[in-house]
Amino acid sequence: MQPRDQAWFQGVARVKVFSDLMFPLVTAGVDEVGRGPLAGPVYAAAVVIAPDRIPTGLTDSKKLSARQRQSLAVQIRSVATAWAVASASVIEIDELNILRASHLAMQRAVAGLGLEPDLLLIDGNLLPVFSLPALAIIKGDRRIASISAASVLAKVARDAEMEKLAQTYPGYGFERHMGYPTPAHKAALQQLGPTPEHRRSFAPVRQQIESQTKQMNRRARQF
């Protein structure tokens, strides 16, 4: 690929309609899951899939039921030319911030593909730093099959991790809300306090820690 082509690809796509068929190169769709939760790692996936191997019903993971995602994930892993799932830990989220940590997870997923695509198709309007040409596509998880596939794999992997954390930290309901800031999760956080898997850089968690610290200090002064 010529430098002028690379400069064109390193941009933000704002056209209304996309199809993987528009890209004759070897493309990899990349998406992340889990930027909004108060707990748990952020996950990302990268998928290279031929247009004639796209599973029926594939779309943005948020539009699918858990059962549909599980079924599609099995199919994607079976028919994809290459795929990889990666994550960034809670510690990395708190150290880097959630945007940079999600980009780190994307970079790890691309590195895990085992091949070098000609072009990366990234969901969203911001590009992580890659050594490969990349194109950011707004709402790409609805428009590009390979990005949809990445969103499904990342979502299934993260949900499985949160279900494991629910067993380690019972009472928080991780298996139901997957760490997102639901009223039930906030109530559990207030009652039980944060776990090591809670993101201390997120306001509700940080505020709970500050509240607990103040209560401990008041009690200490009473003795």
Q: What is the pLDDT of residue 13?
A: 39
CATH topology of domain 3-168: Nucleotidyltransferase; domain 5 (3.30.420)
The distance between the two most distant Cα atoms of the chain, rounded to a whole number of Å, is: 73
Which residue ranges make up each domain of the chain?
3-168
Q: What is the pLDDT of residue 222?
A: 64
Q: How does pLDDT run across 77-135, given as a tens digit for each residue?
A: 999 999 999 999 999 999 999 999 999 999 999 999 999 999 999 999 999 999 999 99
Residue 126 neighbours by CB distance under 10 Å: 11
Q: What is the pLDDT of residue 187?
A: 96
Encoded amino acid at 90, one letter: V
* % the chain with pLDDT above 70: 85
Q: What is the pLDDT of residue 213?
A: 72
Nearest CA to 150 out of 184, 177, 181, 113 is that of: 113
Q: What is the pLDDT of residue 212?
A: 79
> CA-CA distance, 189 to 99, in Å (whole number)?
23
Helix (H) or strand (E) holding 151: helix 145-168
Q: What is the mean pLDDT of each run of 10 residues along the chain (223 residues)?
A: 38 42 78 98 97 94 96 98 98 98 98 96 95 94 96 98 98 98 96 96 94 68 62
The structure's pTM equals 0.86
> CA-CA distance, 111 to 203, in Å (whole number)?
32
Encoded amino acid at 202, one letter: F
Residues 6 or more apart in contact with residue 68 via CB below 8 angstroms: 57
Q: What is the pLDDT of residue 211?
A: 81
Average pLDDT, the chain: 89
Q: What is the pLDDT of residue 14?
A: 37
Q: What is the pLDDT of residue 136?
A: 96
In angstroms, what CA-CA distances link 120 with 5, 70, 76, 103, 181? 13, 25, 18, 13, 31
Q: What is the pLDDT of residue 19?
A: 53
